[in-house]
Amino acid sequence: MRRRMAHYLLVLFAAAAAGSPARRSAVDLDATPRTTIAYNELADVPRFSSHALNYTTLLLEDEKGILYVGARGAIFSLNSSNIADGSQRKIQWEASPEKQTDCLQKGKNNKTECFNHVRLLQRLNSSHLYACGTYAFHPLCAAIDADKFTLPPHLEEGKEKCPYDPARGYTGLIVDGGLYTATRYEFRSLPDIRRNLHQRPLKTEESPVHWLNDAEFVASVLVRESVGSPVADDDKIYYFFMERAGEEGTAFEKTQVARVSRVCKNDLGGKKILQRKWTSFLKARLACYIPYYEVLRGVYSLDGGSWPSTVFYATFTLAAQWRSMEASAVCQYNISELQRAFEGPYMEYQDTTRKWTRYDGQVPDPRPGSCITDRSRENGYNSSQDLPNGVLDFVKQHPLMFEEVKPAWGEPLLVKKNVLYTALAADRALALDGRHYDVLFMGTGDGWLHKGVVIGSAVHIVEEMQVFWAPQPVESLVISKAQRSVYVGAASGVLQLPLASCARYGSCYDCILARDPYCAWDGAGCREVASAADRAQLTQDVRRGTEGCRNGSAQARPVQRNRTALRGDDVLLPCEQRSNLAQATWLVNGTGELADGQGGPFRVGVDGLLVTDAQPEHSGQYSCYGEEGGLRSPLADYALTVLPELPKEPAPTAPPRTARQASPDGKLVYISVIAVLAGLCLVLGAGLLHVSCLQRRKGRYVLDPRALPAELQTVSANHPGKGQEDGCLQIIPGEAPPAASPAREMPLAAPPPPPPPLPAEFTNGLSAALPNTLRKMNGARYVLLQQQEEPSTSSLHNTSFAQELSKILEKRKHTQLVEKLDESSV
Ligand SMILES: *[C@@H]1O[C@H](CO)[C@@H](O)[C@H](O)[C@H]1NC(C)=O
Ligand SMILES: *[C@@H]1O[C@H](CO)[C@@H](O)[C@H](O)[C@H]1NC(C)=O
Ligand SMILES: *[C@@H]1O[C@H](CO)[C@@H](O)[C@H](O)[C@H]1NC(C)=O
Ligand SMILES: *[C@@H]1O[C@H](CO)[C@@H](O)[C@H](O)[C@H]1NC(C)=O
Ligand SMILES: *[C@@H]1O[C@H](CO)[C@@H](O)[C@H](O)[C@H]1NC(C)=O
Ligand SMILES: *[C@@H]1O[C@H](CO)[C@@H](O)[C@H](O)[C@H]1NC(C)=O
Ligand SMILES: *[C@@H]1O[C@H](CO)[C@@H](O)[C@H](O)[C@H]1NC(C)=O
């Protein structure tokens, strides 16, 4: 166990040493979440689950106080004020046994695919909801009376509205009675954006050019651009998706790019040309941090009360070329930037080169792809059916815009390594400084939720929360303003988290440093701004996160604790930093700050101070502080006494002083000491197991194979052939991903194209993924900081580090025993 732990640290350390710290990319926004909230700290948040699986489709009706949840084989109606209050209603909607048998005969997966996955849940009209399910590869839809909450006797055919495949990218909205869906519907059919439940159903065009190429849809957003429009513009629906790129100049052909497209709500299609097809379909490239981050995962829109202030937030993960690494980027887009692209030049398909290039010829009037406005009406075009053939022909052949949609600030707000953001939601909060701050909730691929606040052009991650115990992708996120909650949907259930848990911040400094726009300090505690009676009494500093606490006053001194050790022991003085951004500082005897890496017997770690080979002259007062944003809070005080030798006593394993003083009930003390010892061993063992397993759940670190001949892999316990029952991590020396080692390819196989150069942020291997000082990472209890007495470049040095560590761990057992006795004798 210990050995594996040492190995693990060895690899982390080796990785940290391998990189050249000087290289930094232009975008260096790898934010560390300020605090880490483990699963057990979220024990009292409402959770809902039943026998069903895949709670992926969420529909919140905030005014009614209902959260509808579409799952596998069921639809639920939950009370949004507390989804776990037991008042849920359920519609059982399983695929029929015949359809399941059909599905199995088609060779579909009986564990995931041959079920009724509810993929669409929307409000149809004031009395009815509309739902569609995959129904074991035979999609069906139903109008559901929301009050009765039962399935109607008659179900509708769903193949025009819902995908067959439960895992296929899909998005659907009901807007003014019309159902707008985008997906790849049937088996091997082309992707399509469709309108149904409307007197004029519409689709996208497939000839002479496909408007969509292998599109995988992510989200759709309605923007009511008709509201307050001086030209009587139309409402628009924006679609966010990925598709195969065909443009000239895209770095990697045939790879996916992210796109945004839009259609006009009052589009009726053309009369002869583009009959029953959109006349207003246009698409543009959605750039975030190209060419690396191309896989669009989640989109959310916010507006400040009127549509011109609409912003879109989108999360991206690495393009296929870099799938072996996990990283995410978050970008922000203003609606004006989308409009700029759609009003700019068009692209044209060149049959000879089979590429899309800029079109510089004549553009007919009215402008192809635009909605019908007053200007077109003045010219006699009252609807899309009146548009001249020239315009419709142009639309047919020019769906792609030349300009790409660039992110606000020109770059991502956030780039985060070792994390896959799979879902995103945003809320706009009014802070005490009178400004609005956007708060992003980002779900990860392994069941965590990150809460970040957008400050200028960057995101400060306030906290990371382990919302699901079993690692699983967060599938959907919805925010309720009325309940001040965020609902999180995933395979195993739904949970409801408060937008803010201000009471978690115990001091004024902690409250201010969190920079949470929902929270402020009122002199006695950290409170939610929205529920505070008197805002004038509150203190908050979202912009800098440092101002507002009267110095010293809010910081109570911790209780001093005594520690006794023997000469030669290694002593750990625990001091937990609440914040991952805080720097630990120790003072000895009120002076003499202990700095990292100064050598000698002191090692400053994130969870304590380690005194190696303690000597009697190391006795004294030790005070631990957390320093963050220039603010210093006292966290722990110790009086350390190092004895030159063990007080004379016969039994070496027995507790000397206690035994002597407590001679009348010596047996009792013996038993309790043995119990304490056993408990300690258990705790230590569990701690180590926890560290390695938690790390497995949380992040997967793959070293740059060119930098080191070792790859750190996660090995799942049930992985065949590599069965290490309790093992979570394994070092596989000399193994590199196949793409990076063409020498290992079969001689006859054509070598794959060399991977494109990595962005600078990745070339320095893991050191980029890890902070310079190894921190507490998601619960790892014990990590040394800046263990770099000598510049180590070869792995030989690291071996000695590992040996030293096992030695320390060995000795710690003894030290903790003495500590424990000390406390019990007080
Ligand atoms: C449904 O949940 C199961 C169990 O977690 C998972 O394996 C499967 O991929 C999920 N299916 C979909 C379509 O999300
Ligand atoms: C939800 O629960 C609250 C509190 O128990 C109750 O007041 C409210 O009426 C419930 N809402 C619905 C829709 O049942
Ligand atoms: C699914 O199929 C496998 C192999 O065909 C079979 O062993 C398993 O029992 C089936 N599971 C269910 C739930 O039908
Ligand atoms: C809502 O739609 C359903 C299904 O089409 C219909 O039966 C019902 O009458 C509609 N309700 C209203 C209030 O229009
Ligand atoms: C458009 O509407 C106007 C006013 O309703 C009408 O006079 C005109 O004839 C219509 N034009 C067409 C082409 O239908
Ligand atoms: C409090 O502030 C004063 C000056 O404003 C400074 O000299 C002093 O060191 C501060 N005390 C603490 C404990 O930070
Ligand atoms: C702290 O002070 C005590 C007594 O004043 C002294 O014996 C001890 O060596 C000091 N400790 C350190 C680490 O300097």
Which residues are CB-neighbours of 710 under 8 A, at least 6 positions away?
11, 14, 703, 731, 732, 733, 734, 735, 795
Q: The domain spanning residue 231 has which CATH number?
A: 2.130.10.10
Supply the pLDDT for residue 364.
Answer: 95
141 within a domain of the structure (yes/no): no
How many Å lie between the centroid of ligand 5 and the Cα of residue 453?
51
Give the per-residue pLDDT at 600.
Answer: 78
Atom 7 of ligand 2: nearest residue by CA position: 81
- Predicted pLDDT at 682: 54
My answer on whether 540 and 631 are in the same domain is no
Q: Is the CB of 79 under 6 A from ligand 2?
A: yes
Residue 127 Cβ < 6 Å to ligand 4: yes
758-776 pLDDT, tens per residue?
Answer: 444 443 333 332 332 333 3
Residue 360's pLDDT band (boundaries 50, 70, 90)?
Answer: very high
Q: Tell me: pLDDT of 397 over 90.
A: yes
**Which of 537-551, 687-701, 712-726, 807-821 has the largest mean confidence?**
537-551
| pLDDT of 562 | 92
- What contacts 656, CB < 8 A, 6 or more positions away? 646, 647, 648, 649
Q: What is the pLDDT of residue 786?
A: 30
Q: What is the CATH number of the domain that holds 640?
A: 2.60.40.10
Which tens digits make up the pLDDT trace of 505-519? Answer: 988 899 999 999 999
Look at residue 676 and tell me whether its pLDDT is greater than 70: no
Average pLDDT of span 206-232: 93
Asked if 642 and 529 sit in the same domain, the reply is: no
Site of tokens 């982390």: 12
For residue 121, the CA-to-ligand 2 centroid distance in Å is 21
Q: What is the pLDDT of residues 712-751, one digit of tens each?
A: 222 233 333 333 333 333 223 333 333 333 333 333 333 3
**Contact assessment for residue 316 and residue 441, using Cβ atoms and an 8 Å cutoff:** no
Which residue CA neighbors atom 7 of ligand 6 most closely? Answer: 551
Q: pLDDT band at 256, cuts 50/70/90?
A: confident
CA distance to 44, 230, 441, 481, 491, per residue, from 80 (Å): 16, 39, 18, 11, 19
pLDDT at site 725: 33
* Residues 149-200 pLDDT 10s: 999 999 999 989 999 999 999 999 999 999 999 999 877 788 999 999 999 9
Q: Is the CB of 470 under 6 A from ligand 1?
A: no
Give Cα 521 distance to the centre of its chain: 28
% of the chain at pLDDT higher than 90: 55
Centroid of ligand 1 to alpha carbon of 696 (angstroms): 21
- Phi/psi for 783 (5° steps) reads -140, 140
- Answer yes or no: do 531 and 580 share one domain: no
Mutate which of 377, 382, 385 for ligand 5? The one with the most ligand atoms within 8 Å of its CB, which is 382
| Amino acid code (one letter) for 3 | R
pLDDT of residue 193: 96
Q: Determine, yes or no, domain membership for 410.
A: yes
Query: At which of 402, 418, 434 does a domain end?
Result: 418
pLDDT score recorded for residue 251: 54
- Name the residue among 77, 198, 84, 81 with its Cα closest to residue 145: 77
Give yes or no for residue 679 having a pLDDT over 90.
Answer: no
Q: Decide if pLDDT at 321 tops 70.
A: yes
Q: Has residue 661 got a pLDDT over 70?
A: no
Atom 4 of ligand 4: nearest residue by CA position: 143
Instruction: Return the best residue to mutate from 79, 483, 485, 496 for the ligand 2 pocket (most ligand atoms within 8 A of CB).
Output: 79
Residues 259 and 296 reside in one and the same domain: yes
- The SS3 call for residue 275 is strand
pLDDT for res 482:
95
Examine residue 683 and state whether it is found in any structural domain, yes or no: no
The Cα 103–Cα 134 span in angstroms is 11
Measure the CA–CA gap between 292 and 326, rounded to whole angstroms: 12
- 385 located within any domain: yes
Averaged pLDDT score across all residues of the chain: 78
Residue 595 shares a structural domain with residue 715 = yes
Q: What is the pLDDT of residue 281?
A: 97
Q: Quick check: is 424 in a domain? A: no
User: What is the spatial order of strands in the sheet that 236-244 belongs to?
Assistant: 216-223, 236-244, 256-264, 282-285
Q: Binning pLDDT at 50, 70 and 90, where does residue 80 land?
A: very high
CATH number, domain at 550?
A: 3.30.1680.10
Cα 306 from Cα 109, distance rounded (Å): 46
User: Cβ(140)–Cβ(75) under 8 Å?
Assistant: no
Q: What span, in angstroms and rounded, lies between the C-alpha atoms of 570 and 722?
A: 36
Look up residue 399 and give its two tokens. Answer: 């769906």
Domain count, the chain: 3
Which residue, judged by its Cα, is nearest atom 14 of ligand 6?
A: 551
More confident site: 650 or 364: 364
Q: Residue 273 belongs to what domain range?
A: 202-418
User: Is 109 a domain residue?
Assistant: no
| 524 in the same domain as 575 | no
422 CA from centroid of ligand 1 (Å): 14
What's the CA-to-centroid distance between 78 and ligand 4, angstroms?
Answer: 23
Comparison of pLDDT for 804 and 51, the residue scoring more: 51
Give the strands of the sheet with 458-466, arranged side by side.
35-37, 458-466, 448-455, 436-444, 421-430
pLDDT in the model for residue 597: 61
The answer to whether residues 391 and 531 belong to one domain is no
Domain-located, residue 700: no
Q: Does the pLDDT of residue 5 top 80, yes or no? A: no
User: Which of 244-253, 396-405, 572-581 has the weakest average pLDDT?
Assistant: 244-253
Residue of higher predicted confidence among 634 and 7: 634
* Peptide bond between residue 412 and the one before it cis (omega within 30 degrees of 0): no
Residue 251: CB partners within 8 Å, gap ≥ 6? 290, 291, 756
Confidence of residue 17 (pLDDT cuts 50, 70, 90): very low
Confidence bin at 645 (pLDDT 50/70/90): confident
Position 369, amino acid: G
Which of residues 360 and 778 earns the better pLDDT score? 360
CB 642 within 8 A of CB 619: yes
Answer yes or no: do 281 and 362 share one domain: yes
**CA 111 / ligand 1 centre spacing (Å):** 9
Q: What's the confidence (pLDDT) of residue 453? A: 97
Q: For ligand 7, is residue 589 a contact (CB within 6 Å)?
A: yes
Q: Is the CB of 771 under 6 A from ligand 2?
A: no
Closest ligand 1 atom to the C-alpha of 475?
A: 14
Q: Do 402 and 528 share a domain, yes or no? A: no
In terms of Cβ atoms closer than 10 Å to its own Cβ (0-12, 13-18, 19+), residue 704 is: buried
Nearest ligand to the CA of 571 is 7
Looking only at the bridges linking them, the beta strands covering 35-37 and 458-466 are parallel
Helix 2-18 crosses helix 795-825 at what angle (to 10 degrees)?
130
Q: Pick the ligand that lies closest to the CA of residue 115.
A: 1
Task: Evaluate the CA torsion angle 126, 128, 133, 139 in order and state its sign.
Answer: negative
CA–centroid distance, residue 631 to ligand 6 (Å): 10
* Pair 300, 360 in one domain: yes
Q: How is 91-140 classified by DSSP, letter by letter? A: EE-PPPHHHHHHHHHTT--TTTTSS-BEEEEEE-SSSEEEEEE-TTTS-E
**DSSP states of 358-427:** E--S---SSPTTPPP-HHHHHTT--SGGGS-HHHHHHHHH--BBSS-BPPGGGS-SEEEET--EEEEEEE
518 and 588 belong to one structural domain: no
Over residues 801-815, mean pLDDT: 48
Closest CA to 438 of 420, 449, 424, 419: 424
Q: Residue 55 CA: which ligand is closest?
A: 1
Residues 245 and 281 in one domain: yes
What is the pLDDT at residue 94?
A: 96
In a domain, 256, yes or no: yes
DSSP one-letter code for 286: B
Mean pLDDT of 110-126: 93
Burial class (CB in 10 A: 0-12, 13-18, 19+), 279: buried
pLDDT, one tens digit per residue, over 266-282 is: 999 999 999 999 999 99
CB of 124 shorter than 6 A to ligand 4: yes
Q: What distance separates the 2 farthest-apart alpha carbons in the chain?
A: 108
The whole-angstrom separation of Cα 544 and Cα 276 is: 55
Ligand 2 pocket test: which of 68, 81, 83, 89 has the largest number of ligand atoms within 8 Å of its C-beta? 81
Give the pLDDT mean for 780-785.
32
- Percent of the chain at pLDDT above 70? 73
